Amino acid sequence: MTRVHWRWEEKDFGFRFLSGTGRKKGEYYQAASTGEFYVIPASQRKLPKDRLDQLAKLAAVPSSPRVVPPPWSDYDRDWDWITTADGTLLNFAGCLDREEIDRREDEGVARAMEFVAGLLDRPEPAPLTVNLIRQVHRELMGEIYPFAGEWRTVDLHKGDGPTRWRLPPSGIQPLMEVLERDVLAHSPLLSDDDATVFAYVAEVMCAILALHPFREGNGRTAFITGNLLLMQNDMVPLDVYDRRNDQTGYFAACDAGRIHKDYAPFATLIADWEAAALARWEPHHVA
- Indicate which CATH number applies to the domain containing 154: 1.10.3290.10
Residue 164, classed as helix, strand or coil, is: strand
pTM for this entry: 0.87
Identify whether 174 is part of a domain. yes
Considering the domain architecture, whether residues 44 and 149 belong to the same structural domain is answered as: no
Sheet holding 66-68, edge to edge: 28-30, 36-39, 66-68
Residue 275, classed as helix, strand or coil, is: helix
Supply the mean pLDDT for the chain: 85
Sequential DSSP letters for 106-124: HHHHHHHHHHHHHHTTSSS
What is the per-residue burial (b if ≥16 Cβ within 10 Å, else e) of 89-110? Answer: bbbbbbbbeeeebeebbeebbe
Q: Find the DSSP H helices in the chain.
A: 6-9, 49-56, 98-119, 130-141, 173-182, 194-211, 218-232, 247-260, 264-285
State how far the Cα of 39 lies from the Cα of 9, in Å rounded to an integer. 21
State how far the Cα of 279 lies from the Cα of 277, in Å rounded to an integer. 5
State how far the Cα of 263 lies from the Cα of 227, in Å rounded to an integer. 17
Considering the domain architecture, whether residues 124 and 201 belong to the same structural domain is answered as: yes
Quick: pLDDT tens for 103-139.
Answer: 889 999 999 999 999 999 999 999 999 999 999 999 9
Domain total of the chain: 2
pLDDT band at 70 (very low <50, low <70, confident <90, very high): confident
Identify whether 80 is part of a domain. no
Quick: pLDDT tens for 19-61.
Answer: 444 445 456 666 666 677 776 666 667 778 787 777 666 655 5
Identify whether 90 is part of a domain. no
Considering the domain architecture, whether residues 26 and 149 belong to the same structural domain is answered as: no
Strand partners, 3: 17
Considering the domain architecture, whether residues 42 and 150 belong to the same structural domain is answered as: no
Domain that holds residue 137: 98-285
Considering the domain architecture, whether residues 48 and 160 belong to the same structural domain is answered as: no
Considering the domain architecture, whether residues 122 and 215 belong to the same structural domain is answered as: yes
Quick: pLDDT tens for 81-92.
Answer: 888 888 889 888
Considering the domain architecture, whether residues 66 and 103 belong to the same structural domain is answered as: no
Considering the domain architecture, whether residues 234 and 137 belong to the same structural domain is answered as: yes
Identify whether 75 is part of a domain. no
Quote the distance between the C-alpha of residue 205 and its chain's center. 15
Identify whether 268 is part of a domain. yes
Q: What is the pLDDT of residue 1?
A: 36
Identify whether 199 is part of a domain. yes
Strand 156-157 and strand 164-165: pairing? Answer: antiparallel
pLDDT above 70 for 146: yes
The one-letter code for the residue type at 9 is E
Quick: pLDDT tens for 216-271.
Answer: 999 999 999 999 999 999 999 999 988 888 889 999 999 999 999 999 999 999 99
Considering the domain architecture, whether residues 264 and 167 belong to the same structural domain is answered as: yes
Sequential DSSP letters for 23-68: SSTT-EEE-SSTTEEEE--GGG--S-HHHHHHHHTTSPPPSS-EEE
Identify whether 224 is part of a domain. yes
Considering the domain architecture, whether residues 42 and 148 belong to the same structural domain is answered as: no
Q: Rg (Cα) of the chain, in Å, rounded?
A: 22
Identify whether 113 is part of a domain. yes
Considering the domain architecture, whether residues 42 and 117 belong to the same structural domain is answered as: no
Considering the domain architecture, whether residues 123 and 232 belong to the same structural domain is answered as: yes
